[in-house]
Amino acid sequence: MADERRPILALQQLTYAVGGHTILDHIDMAIYPGEIFVVLGLSGSGKTTMLRLMTGLIRPTSGAIVILDQDIAVMTERELNVLRKRMGLVFQFGALFDSLRVRDNVGFSLYEHTNIAEAEVRQAVAEKLRLVGMSGVEEKYPAELSGGMQKRVGIARALISNPEILFYDEPTSGLDPVIAATIDELIVKLRNTLWVTEVIVSHDIHSVLQMADRMALLHEGRLRLVGTPAEFQASDDPVVRQFLEGRTDGPIQVV
């Protein structure tokens, strides 16, 4: 039975090719409001390219990317910048400005793109840091924080404009298992608290099985499976099974 809900994000026959090489091949995918949706795949599978397309950093070769009822594939950069205020992006390694204190990192977009009074910016920064469990670090520099703390600050920065969609690029990359689990818990907490739609690019199958509502596996430029964690675990597709089990033998070629 078709899902009758209205997607907050939809990829329609999305294709991306460069240098004669097709990276994404006629992708159709829908993500619904309030979902935690994870795009899985090996390194080089196209998942980071998909993230860059969904955030408007690159343009598709063909197809549509409909976000909040607008096709970003045909938007001007000015129009994209307006829409981006309704989206947030958490970078893989935090991407904090080393020379700025935490409060200036988190409030950066408000300082740069609005005329909000200083007191209001500081209040917004404090609120977002509280949401991610980082109250009281406003005056610290990124170098004074652990990797997990920097990741939380990066999430607070992405939340500062109260986005409707939050994108994560490998949110637990480089973190030990315990800290990674706290980030997973935070991602679920933010969805439940703010009802923000969260789209995550990852290859950490153990992590995403714990938090995803639905997942998609990219393989050789196409979607191999889209479904719930339970549907993934029940799948008898040899590509899905090899990916889940982390085996070197199987249809996925290891190079």
The tens digit of pLDDT for each residue in 15-37 reads: 999 988 999 999 999 999 999 99
Is 201 within the bounds of a domain? no
Model confidence over 138-149: pLDDT tens digits?
999 999 999 899
Backbone angles phi, psi at 32, to 5 degrees: -110, 155
Query: Could you tell me if residue 116 is inside a domain?
Result: yes
User: Is position 183 within any domain?
Assistant: no
3-state SS of 194-225 is: HCCEEEEEECCHHHHHHHCCEEEEEECCEEEE
Residue 117 has which token pair?
């009074």
Range(s) of the domain holding residue 111: 87-162
Q: What is the mean pLDDT of residues 81-93?
A: 88
The reported pTM is 0.92
Total count of domains within the chain = 1
Domain-located, residue 209: no
Domain-located, residue 242? no
Look at residue 146 and tell me if it is in a domain: yes
Asked whether residue 187 is domain-assigned, the answer is: no
Residue 10 belongs to some domain of the structure: no
